[in-house]
Structure 1
Amino acid sequence: MIQRLRQYGSTFLVAALSGAFGAVLVQGTSVLTTLIAGDSISERASVQVALGLVSLVFFGIAIFVGGLVTTNTVSTVIAGRTRELALFRLIGSSAARLRTQIAVDGLVVGCVGAVAGTVLGSAAAAGSVAIGVATGAIPDVVYGLVTPTLAAPIVAVALVTWLAAWVGSRRVLDVTPIQAAAASVEPTREQTRQRPLRNGSAFALIGIGVLLLAAGVVLGLVSMLGVLVGMLGGILSFTGIVLAAPLFMPPLLRGVGRLLGRSPAARIAAANAVRHPERSARTTIGLVIGVTLVTMFAVAAQNYYDFIQRSREAYPADYGDSDQILALTIGVFAVLFGFSALIAAVGMVNNLSLSVLQRRRELGLLRALGFTKVQVRAMILAESVQMTVAAVGFGLVLGIVYGWAGSQALLGSILGGGFALPSVPWLVLGAAAIAAAVLAASASIAPAQRATRISPVSALAVD
């Protein structure tokens, strides 16, 4: 079993990061609540309610993204094990039994990762508080860091990892015994389009999610509870986008790929995006998730800061001494930004690496047809460029919309709030886009070099 669990290394890391994220969030909220309770200008219940809502929303987002990354990772792993799973089917194993095994693996990995992450996150939070007290940044009071609520991240992460592994393993149901003698099998473009139930559900989720997102913004003008409606809308709409990705991402990738020139490597890279739509979507959506998440937190933090600053200018008596709380809250945003980037980066790098390594037979065939190692690497680089441009552009748009809608739904009803246009920290987003491009390039080129080191004959013989 230990050998079987090794392939879920990235899933363990995502679960650990999600657990640490939850622990830091729970304890950070406890620290902020303690500080607010002792502050003479901040005893209003609305501020503490806002903190509770922010914690719930951020933890829900972290769990949701961790689940998406895990689902995508499991789907990628299973896509590369098609022949192995087909052999199990050939000797008598049922699809249900194989899928149950994968789900159990996900539960074990999720539990261990969540516990490890929660312990590390709690230790980091306790250390940060100790440093803050020692340096005089925060008062020396009892913050109550160890509470029963720390069990919540462990349970939530373990359950979501198990569910994500179960959902990601649905591909096993499509594996037939006869595929044991075939090469790697990916659904064609026509087969992807001929899924009325899945495609219809995806667009329905997008439509309902957009309506709820808009309702959250409107409700947020009169109540902070609008952020919960907005969060539900964001989760539903983004789930729909992920499900519909095989339909709209390949054409977008091919459009970007055509801008890279007419060389054989560039033309094949553009054609590959459409030839295997599910593979293209699985690989690209990981980067879309990362860029969207990082952009969303950056935009939300900027809009939060602007909201508070405008409110302080309009009502100085009510917000005059809130500098410490504002600084600490922005610090929490920064920590969440970092955790989000790590979770997204792990999923993106893992999926890109697996995608390239699982294409050794395809790359071997190209070598056998006359492609040189340089041309194969150029093709992989062209695919990486077209994926980065398409995913970063799409993720930036989504992240700006989600970040603005979330901050508007949460803060629109506060004193001095109201409706405001999005504030976008372009410098931060530009740096994030560059980092995503570097990650995408390094994650695809390194495994491509390993895959092209073997001879064409050996590559074609790989199972």
Structure 2
Amino acid sequence: MWHATLRNLLAHKLRLALSGLAIVLGVAFVSGTMIFTDTLGKTFENLFASTSADVNVEPASAFDSGLAGTGEGTGAASTVPESLVDTVRDVDGVAAAAGFVRTEGVYVLDGNGNVLDTGGAPGIGISWEPDPDLSSSTLVDGRAPRGAAQVALDVDSAEKAGYTLGDTVTVLTTGPRVQAELVGTFSFGDSGGSAGASLAAFETRAAQELFGTPGQFSGIGISTADGIAEETVRDRVAAAIGDGYDVRTASEQAEALAGDFEEGLAFVETFLLAFAGIALFVGTFIILNTFSMLVAQRTRELALLRALGAGRAQVTRSVLAEALVLGIVGSTLGLAAGFGVATGLRSLFGQFGLTLDGGLVFATDTVLWSYAVGVLVTLMAAYLPARRAAKTPPVAAMRDDHVSVERSLRRRTVFGGVLTAAGVAAMVGAFIVQDDGTAASLVGVGALTLLLGTIALSPVIARPFLRGIGAVLPRLFGTSGHLARENAVRNPRRTAATASALMVGLALVSGFSIIGASTNASVDNSLDQSLGADYVVSTAVAAPFSAEIAQEIRVIDGVESVTQQRFGQAQLGGVQTSVSAVDAATLDSAFALDYLTGGTEGLRGEGLLVDEDTAASRGWSVGDRVEALLANGERVELTVGGVYTTNQALGLAVISLDTFTAAGGEALDRFVYVDVAPDVDAAAVRSSLKATLDAYPVVTLKDQAQFADEQKGQVDQLLMIINALLGLSVIIAVLGIVNTLALSVIERTREIGLLRAIGMDRRQLRQMIRLESVAISVYGAVFGLILGIVFGTGLVQALADQGISQQVIPGGRMLLFLAIGALIGVLAAVWPARRAAGLKLLDAIATT
């Protein structure tokens, strides 16, 4: 039997190639995702481990607010006093200690005056530490900076900006604009990379002055004396300096940072593996079709083996052995192709500022999972055809007139009906429940169940649908059209399996298109209703920037009001909440607020404004007292002064800029809103604004329409990535149609020969196969679009409270997807049609 199995594999190389390619693509995405995420994790693990001293002292965060130790996203300016360094130095076991300064919002300009492109990664300013035991930077060329007129850059930034030693570098800090001589370049950490961020290093005193922290440090680095454990020094330092500080060893610091980072990384990995799963799911249809048709074509051969003494189990094992070999070969090639996928993902994420240094990480888990997934999917898809082959009676199968009896679709219809009903129930439930997370989960479950139900019912639906849309084929294309329609409905299971692959791909593409279009429409509607300012000043990624920009805009003739907006994290009444800080005096001119109770006056002093959902969920009303705890430990008693309808620009809660600053909030703006005075030359004011902002290339000036386009651009960018990843499933679907048609041509070789013998020419034959392919593709595309519309509209409704308030079905795009489905049918039929037309007439007739 093993000899027969090997012979069949070699005899059907071409037939198995397309199925093998589906496995290769699916496994490549699985292995590529795992290689990429392992590389991502290793990059930051090395970075975290190599950028910490033996023991580190940093301000304690009052609550978990993101990436531990960085202060990112907290909005609170947390520092340690310079005097604390002497206290730490006096601790027994401390060999050396030094304070360091680190802040975001420090950008390097290139020689043309443009902000150095980091793809969205932060610009970081640091202090230069000369002690190698305390420093995470290693000088590569030149010397250490001295004074505010000298700077050192990381090697990558200097190279990208085209700077060499001695050049004058312009640095935008959170305070003044600095012109400094480049005196040194350095590598960061053990790997030498900074994951895409740009680093500008100044002498410690200069860094304190430039970054607005005179007499303060971001933290203290400690090197331990020889022979004394880091844990011992950590405990002694913690006892000496008291509460209010986090004291960690290097390993604890790296572990804490890596732990928070892995939470975000888990989402990326799940996101990418979901697309790999889709690719494998779609590929399963190809493998199932391939083995079903191969077994059908070899019915007499397998029956002869049974007659010669082979048992059912042997026949089943023989077919599964072919699948096993195919799975192993496909998984091996897919594993190799995974490096290409990982390289592509690294390049793609590099465009968004996430630069991964060093080589790709190839772990044992990647190999095991790749083979497990590829082989198991192949064996599962081949099992049913193998069982059917084993059950065929040997004597009946060897008869020349044997015709396999089509099995009843009753069980499949019942099963598909139950799944479809369950999917509809889940979708209905999503509209009833109040919790957004539960609603989105129900939509996901409902969409998946509907998809599986439709796939199960597909053979039942295929015949009437194809006869309906195929009714025009005989009228337009005569005999070729009639035969194409009959071929498409001849084997509804095969047609359904072939169309299902395309249906899955287009369902997801169309669903996400609806979500993207609805989100963009919601952005337009939200800004129309929530924003009142004429212009917005911000970075493309809402990064923090210097408050000096707002001060310079205020003195421009024709500017009526300027509103600064800052963000932070706070616990309001014990619940962590994103807080927006604005100036109460100009709030109404910058934002269009609709108050249910209270008003803008309630923001003055230590007031608090909240949106209606927040007020309802926490039982707050105007006049209530709420305790606010910032990440730096500052506590403020606030009074609810107003409740407003949902406003996307302001968020859930608003406090005054004065309250935020007094509580230690960072003096960095995220948005600046500008109103132009009436009866002035608006064009002249805009020109003056642009001239002022030319000195700050990190920010741009946008009117409301341009600001909306910028926000929608981020949605479109994400949608482009999703559709590019989903494109893999569509490619596999095309391969599935090619595979089915090619095998169908082989199966119908004698029939094709007879058609040629009674007068059908090659052109008509090619036309027949093309029309059959188009009919199958249109069937898959139509039901894919229907499912996509159900999924997309359901998810938009479920996320209505998250800001997606507009329901948009892009009709033009849906028609385009339908046309693409038909085009896929035409392209998929090219090779099978040419193969059929190239068959020799007499040889085809003689085929048994």
Report the secondary structure of 1:240's partner residue: helix
Tell me the distance in 1 between the aligned counterparts of 2:339 and 2:716. Answer: 21
TM-score by length of 2: 0.46
Give the drift of 1:253: 1.0
Tell me the distance in 1 between the aligned counterparts of 2:290 and 2:785. Answer: 22
- Partner residue of 2:479 out of 233, 257, 264: 264
Name structure 2 gaps, 5 residues minimum.
Answer: 1-5, 45-65, 75-259, 531-646, 653-669, 672-709
Match of 1:424 in 2: 810
- 8 Å Cα contact 1:50/1:224 also seen in 2: no
CA offsets, 1:208-255, max 9 Å, x none? 233334445666x62546555544444443333233222220221111
CA offsets, 1:251-289, max 9 Å, x none? 211111211244233233333444443344344444434
Tell me the distance in 2 between the aligned counterparts of 1:131 and 1:55. Answer: 13
- 8 Å Cα contact 2:299/2:397 also seen in 1: yes
Tell me the distance in 2 between the aligned counterparts of 1:13 and 1:54. Answer: 23
Match of 1:129 in 2: 346
TM-score by length of 1: 0.78
- Within 5 Å, give how 1:275-314 maps onto structure 2: 275-299=490-514, 302=517, 314=647
- 8 Å Cα contact 1:251/1:273 also seen in 2: no
Match of 1:107 in 2: 324
- 8 Å Cα contact 2:509/2:723 also seen in 1: no
Tell me the distance in 1 between the aligned counterparts of 2:279 and 2:357. Answer: 28
- Within 5 Å, give how 1:341-360 maps onto structure 2: 341-360=730-749
Match of 1:242 in 2: 455
Structure-2 change in CA distance of 1:370 and 1:327 (3 Å)? closer
Name structure 1 gaps, 5 residues minimum.
Answer: none
Equivalenced residues, count: 451
- 8 Å Cα contact 1:353/1:443 also seen in 2: no
CA offsets, 1:398-419, max 9 Å, x none? 233234445666x566x435x6
Report the secondary structure of 1:103's partner residue: helix
Structure-2 change in CA distance of 1:317 and 1:114 (3 Å)? farther
Report the secondary structure of 2:398's partner residue: helix
Tell me the distance in 2 between the aligned counterparts of 1:105 and 1:358. Answer: 19
Structure-2 change in CA distance of 1:46 and 1:160 (3 Å)? same
Give the drift of 1:28: 6.3
Match of 1:18 in 2: 26
Give the drift of 1:462: 1.2
Match of 1:40 in 2: 72
Tell me the distance in 1 between the aligned counterparts of 2:11 and 2:731. Answer: 25
Structure-2 change in CA distance of 1:15 and 1:441 (3 Å)? same
Give the drift of 1:336: 1.1
Structure-2 change in CA distance of 1:334 and 1:97 (3 Å)? same
Give the drift of 1:120: 2.5
State yes or no: 1:212 paired with 2:426: yes
Structure-2 change in CA distance of 1:41 and 1:408 (3 Å)? farther
Tell me the distance in 1 between the aligned counterparts of 2:468 and 2:355. Answer: 58
1:8 partner letter: L
Give the drift of 1:207: 2.1
Match of 1:163 in 2: 380
Match of 1:3 in 2: 10
Q: Where is the strand percentage greater, Structure 1 or Structure 2?
A: 2
- Within 5 Å, give how 1:434-445 maps onto structure 2: 434-445=819-830
Match of 2:845 in 1: 460
Structure-2 change in CA distance of 1:343 and 1:218 (3 Å)? farther
2:301 partner letter: E
Q: Where is the helix percentage greater, Structure 1 or Structure 2?
A: 1
Report the secondary structure of 2:742's partner residue: helix
Tell me the distance in 2 between the aligned counterparts of 1:238 and 1:356. Answer: 29
- Partner residue of 1:68 out of 285, 292, 297: 285
1:18 partner letter: G
Tell me the distance in 2 between the aligned counterparts of 1:402 and 1:162. Answer: 31
State yes or no: 1:200 paired with 2:414: yes
- Within 5 Å, give how 1:286-435 maps onto structure 2: 286-299=501-514, 302=517, 314-316=647-649, 329-330=718-719, 332-405=721-794, 411=799, 415-417=802-804, 421-424=807-810, 426-427=812-813, 429-435=814-820
State yes or no: 1:138 paired with 2:353: yes
Higher RCO structure, 1 or 2 (CA under 8 Å, sep 6+): 1
Tell me the distance in 2 between the aligned counterparts of 1:104 and 1:305. Answer: 51
Structure-2 change in CA distance of 1:234 and 1:3 (3 Å)? farther
Structure-2 change in CA distance of 1:311 and 1:72 (3 Å)? farther
1:397 partner letter: I
- 8 Å Cα contact 1:198/1:243 also seen in 2: yes
- 8 Å Cα contact 2:750/2:847 also seen in 1: yes
CA offsets, 1:37-84, max 9 Å, x none? 589349999977865664564444333223233223322333333333
2:776 partner letter: M
2:389 partner letter: V
Give the drift of 1:307: 6.8
Structure-2 change in CA distance of 1:91 and 1:125 (3 Å)? same
Tell me the distance in 2 between the aligned counterparts of 1:143 and 1:331. Answer: 28
Tell me the distance in 1 between the aligned counterparts of 2:524 and 2:381. Answer: 40
Which entry has the higher C-alpha Rg, 1 or 2?
A: 2
Tell me the distance in 2 between the aligned counterparts of 1:29 and 1:65. Answer: 24
- Partner residue of 1:251 out of 432, 453, 464: 464
Identity %: 28
Tell me the distance in 1 between the aligned counterparts of 2:328 and 2:282. Answer: 17
1:197 partner letter: R
Match of 2:334 in 1: 117
- 8 Å Cα contact 1:19/1:118 also seen in 2: yes
Tell me the distance in 2 between the aligned counterparts of 1:148 and 1:224. Answer: 35
- 8 Å Cα contact 1:215/1:229 also seen in 2: yes
**RMSD of the alignment, in Å?**
4.2
Give the drift of 1:344: 1.8
Match of 2:296 in 1: 79
- 8 Å Cα contact 2:29/2:338 also seen in 1: yes
Structure-2 change in CA distance of 1:122 and 1:234 (3 Å)? farther
Tell me the distance in 2 between the aligned counterparts of 1:216 and 1:60. Answer: 24
Tell me the distance in 1 between the aligned counterparts of 2:491 and 2:754. Answer: 16
Report the secondary structure of 1:371's partner residue: coil
Tell me the distance in 2 between the aligned counterparts of 1:380 and 1:139. Answer: 48
CA offsets, 1:155-191, max 9 Å, x none? 333322221222344442553322233368454xxx4
Structure-2 change in CA distance of 1:77 and 1:149 (3 Å)? same
Report the secondary structure of 1:181's partner residue: coil
Structure-2 change in CA distance of 1:267 and 1:340 (3 Å)? closer
CA offsets, 1:1-34, max 9 Å, x none? 2516734222221112112222444566675997
Match of 1:180 in 2: 398
Structure-2 change in CA distance of 1:68 and 1:90 (3 Å)? same
Structure-2 change in CA distance of 1:350 and 1:293 (3 Å)? farther
1:85 partner letter: L
- 8 Å Cα contact 1:222/1:412 also seen in 2: no
